[in-house]
Chains A and B, each alone.
Chain A
Amino acid sequence: MNKYSRNDATGKNTLAGKNHTSTKAAAASTMDIVNQGLSRRYNAEKRFRLYGITAIILSMVFLAMLFISIIGNGYTAFQQTFVKLDIFLDPDTIDAQSLKDANYQGMVKQSLRDMFPEVKTRRDKRRLYAMISSGAAFQLQDFVRKNQQEIGSVIQLWVPADDDVDMLIKGHIPRDVPEIERRIKDNQLAWIDRLQDQGRIEKRFNTTFFTAGDSREPELAGILGAVSGSFYTLIVTLMLSFPVGVATAVYLEEFAPKNRWTDIIEVNINNLAAVPSIVYGLLGLAVFLNFFGLPRSVPLVGGFVLTLMTLPTIIIASRAALKSVPPSIREAALGVGASKTQMVVHHVLPLALPGMLTGTIIGMAQALGETAPLLMIGMVAFIVDIPGGFTDPSTVLPVQIFLWADSPERAFLERTSAAIMVLLAFLVTMNAVAVFLRKKFERRW
């Protein structure tokens, strides 16, 4: 009743007299309280929305910062400074029979001395030679092997500049700081300027970065070794984790009786999905390396460890894919006389396959970006050779990034960023394929 009387009162106090002051006051105060509170509540509402949008903007800002800093640091690594040298292929020093033994380093140095005849002191000469990468001699050797008819003539060869010169040309070493704080000394600066005036310095596309293995010299270092290591590791991971993961999912989802045993397996898988990756590294170290005596630093063992790590992801995704196949399909297959295995293999699996593939690709992307467990099994070694198989010592792309990030040279900074760009490109491609598969084959039943 109270409710009605109040309503009444509100009605009355707008229409009629003063004799209802007490109820009027009460009614007005309720409305007033609500009205008074309204602006505060609306403000709170606005603030709350603002917090939400700020949170999203903040994460976007972090994402943007990450990408900008990496691309900003890394894009210059795709170019490398080259210096044009006029080299006299002295027939006296190059013996056509044993091209390997000639003093190519000496020829490169000679050509530098010819260009700057005024350089006399030992220290200055050393500085002069330091401007050219130590890889120049190998490049010259390659050139001579391919063009033996050129022996005896003067050739023009573009050779990579040393990383310090490269950094100067790219503007990462400021010219206006005192000489003592600069890695490029004043006379070197003058020589570089002269070379530039003569058009002997040029920035070119850095093919070395994509075709070489690791090196202590930034200008000679490349990612091919790490990329092929990653490739072999991922192949092992894929070959093992996809069949095993799918088989496990099929068993748990389609065949397993609901008992304590399968419950244990299920809880186990859920827990394994959340075990820190470094623990898998400890497992790999203790079991694969120490117990089974497998070799260190090889893609095979890396693949084993990553398989164990990605299995939970693949199993969980595959089970979800199997669950989404409607029971009517199963019943229809069983109804026309298929055995349980036939029902699964002929009807359920093909329908669940796109979902399983999506899960697998996402698992592979995880494995590709994983670093910590591979550090444990020794894939962190300095390896110059490009691995050619599953049992060659190798490293992987993320570990290469980790190794380069530790190097003090400024030139490795941009190479690290560039390697990250390559890694991210691979990851984006893989995820895009996964999204495409999901979009293309996703079925709503």
Chain B
Amino acid sequence: MSSSNLLLVLLMLTAGGYFLGRRRAFVLAGTSGRGQQTLHSRPTYYGALAALWCALPALTVFSFWRFFESSVVTQMVIAGLPPDIQNLPADRLSLIINDIRNIVSANIVPQEINPAIQAAADHYTRLTAISHATLAVLVTTIAIAGLLWVQKIISPGLRARNHVETVVKFLLIACSTIAIFTTIGIVLSVLYEAIRFFKIVPLHEFVFGLDWSPQMAIRADQVGSSGAFGAIPVFMGTLLISAIAMCVAVPIGLMSAIYLSEYANKKFRAVAKPLMEILAGIPTVVYGFFAALVVAPLIRNAGMSLGLDVSSESALAAGLVMGIMIIPFVSSLSDDVINAVPQSLRDGALGLGSTHSETIRLVVLPAALPGIVGGVLLAVSRAIGETMIVVMAAGLAANLTMNPLNTVTTVTVQIVTLLVGDQEFDSPKTLAAFALGLMLFLITLILNVIALVVVRKYREQYE
């Protein structure tokens, strides 16, 4: 039985368990003569209890089985292989296992099939079939056993509701820990590979090195074999592009937030705000396309007509478009903060005779400053982590330059180029991507924490 069919059967059993449990409760209530008052819980809870006992143990067994099935079967197949194959080095052996799997799934069959491997493949198929059959029987038995057991223990005194609610509560707790597991997963996965990287390339070389050309020699005597993993140019490129983006996004975003919250009438707001939000909803790959297709040639042509030498993948183009992307982010965050400034401050300033703009510049903005700074920090962390725009519009060459007309590369671009496609997992080239990812994660984490603290502190002041 395939696993989807098995799950379907399990679902049906669970539904059946629910109805049986509920009916049993009704029957009990009927025979007692006092109706449903004899029951501790409402009949649906008895049904739910039966369903839970039917589904949860069976599902647990099912997932554990599926999780370990493939490795156990593989081990058994290897044990059944002739000794001369078994004694091959690990990588050759894994190739043979791959062949066997390919034969089993009738994927790409190698030209000549070694009879031993064919036998192993048959063995594999047989074992998988046995395993599936056993699993099907086991899961169904457990489900039915759970169901019958609950049928037996249902009695008017059974505290079904409390049992069900406890289970529900544990499920809720389990769900809320996923966030923590995600963080742990991110940290561990990135850290683990990064540590492997730092074993090959020392940390100080990575952090302070001025040269970035991530390649590793396949042979020792190869030309140009010396890879360099100095991350400074990469980080400088990221910084340059983010700085350009912030130069665009902060003034425009802040000014439009001020205008929308302080000057604009209701009608204008109702039109302009959703339009700004459209900018926020456009996928980054579209911005990347826009940058590469429209903005970069525009800047190049403008630069050429001024007699400047502009690279076709200039930092300026990527930064500009990234700035456009971040405008709504800055604007909506500042909007919130500006609206949170108490009206009394404005009234006071206006009452002393200052003009509207003076009120805003001298009273509202200073009062809102911590929140705005927090918002800008969040925007910076977004700019640093933004990927698609720079992948499509910025270059790959790691130039250590501050000239926005030159091409630079960023952390995210390097991660993508190092990891897209097939690659082995022990070369420093791929591991470097994880080291960069670790840095990226740390930097954005620090920025976010600072921003969140600043924003929260400011909020407490006025509430």
Contacts and interface: CB of A to CB of B under 8 A. Distances in A.
A48 B357 CA distance: 6
B441 A402 contact: no
A53 B258 CA distance: 10
A279 B385 contact: yes
Given A48-B361, A276-B384, A282-B437, A59 B172 contact: no
Contacts of A375: 416, 419-420
B263 A52 contact: yes
Interface string A46-57: 011101111110
Interface string A373-416: 00110001000000000000000001101100100000001001
Chain B interface mostly: helix
Interface in B175-208: 175-180, 182-183, 185-186, 189-190, 192-193
Interface string A268-291: 111110111111101101110011
A151 to B, nearest CB: 35
A277 B387 contact: yes
Given A66-B290, A371-B388, A252 B176 contact: yes
B294 A69 contact: yes
A335 to B, nearest CB: 18
B281 A311 contact: no
Contact of B289 (A62, A370, A405, A431): A405
Contact of B169 (A58, A255, A277, A371): A255
Given A62-B324, A271-B449, A372-B387, A286 B183 contact: no
B361 A282 contact: no
B178 to A, nearest CB: 6
A405 B288 contact: yes
B49 interface: no
A63 interface: yes
A49 B357 contact: yes
Interface in A54-77: 54-56, 58-60, 62-63, 65-66, 69-70, 73
B223 interface: no
A370 B388 CA distance: 9
Contact of B178 (A56, A311, A372, A402): A311
A63 B278 contact: yes
A424 B168 CA distance: 39
A271 B445 contact: yes
Interface stretch (B211-219, B249-257, B343-351, B399-407): B249-257
Interface residues on B, range: 35 or more
A56 B419 contact: no
Contact of A279 (B161, B386, B440): B440
A278 B258 contact: no
A365 interface: yes
Interface in A328-387: 339-341, 365, 368-372, 375-376, 380
A4 interface: no
A217 to B, nearest CB: 21
Which one of A42, A276, A291 has the highest number of Cβ atoms from chain B below 10 Å of its Cβ? Answer: A276
Nearest to A69: B294
Nearest to B292: A405
Interface in B238-275: 251-256, 258-260, 262-263, 272, 275
A31 interface: no
Nearest to B278: A63
A244 B175 CA distance: 5
A256 B169 CA distance: 10
A255 B183 contact: no
Which one of A248, A275, A282, A372 has the highest number of Cβ atoms from chain B below 10 Å of its Cβ? Answer: A282
B412 A55 contact: no
A270 B285 CA distance: 25
B385 A66 contact: no
Contact of B272 (A54, A56, A244): A56
A45 B182 contact: no
B172 A247 contact: yes
B185 A283 contact: yes
Contact of B452 (A250, A270, A371, A380): A270
Nearest to A427: B281
Interface residues on A, range: 35 or more
A62 B177 CA distance: 42
A417 B289 CA distance: 9
A251 B385 contact: no
Contacts of A66: 282, 286-287, 290, 324
Interface string B353-373: 001111011000000000000
A424 B327 contact: no
A372 B412 contact: yes
Contacts of A53: 259
Given A341-B165, A372-B412, A420 B286 contact: yes
B388 A402 contact: yes
A89 interface: no
A371 B385 contact: no
Contacts of A282: 186, 189-190, 415, 419, 433-434, 437
A56 B253 CA distance: 8
B357 A274 contact: no
A265 interface: yes
Nearest to B253: A55
B433 A63 contact: no
A176 B238 CA distance: 43
B220 interface: no
Interface in B6-61: none
Contact of B412 (A41, A276, A290, A308): A276
A274 B382 contact: yes
B416 A275 contact: no
A286 B168 contact: no
A274 B444 contact: yes
Contacts of B183: 268, 271-272
Contacts of A405: 285, 288-289, 292-293, 392
Which one of B169, B381, B448, B449 has the highest number of Cβ atoms from chain A below 10 Å of its Cβ? Answer: B448
Contact of B179 (A268, A370, A401, A416): A268
Given A255-B172, A279-B186, A405-B292, 5 more contacts: A66-B287, A267-B452, A285-B189, A286-B434, A369-B282
24 contacts: A52-B255, A52-B262, A52-B263, A59-B276, A59-B328, A62-B279, A65-B290, A66-B286, A73-B293, A248-B178, A252-B176, A255-B172, A274-B448, A275-B448, A276-B412, A278-B385, A282-B415, A282-B434, A291-B189, A369-B282, A369-B283, A371-B285, A398-B388, A401-B286
Nearest first, the 10 A-B pairs at minimum CB distance are: A276-B385, A52-B259, A369-B283, A286-B189, A55-B255, A48-B357, A372-B387, A247-B175, A251-B172, A248-B176
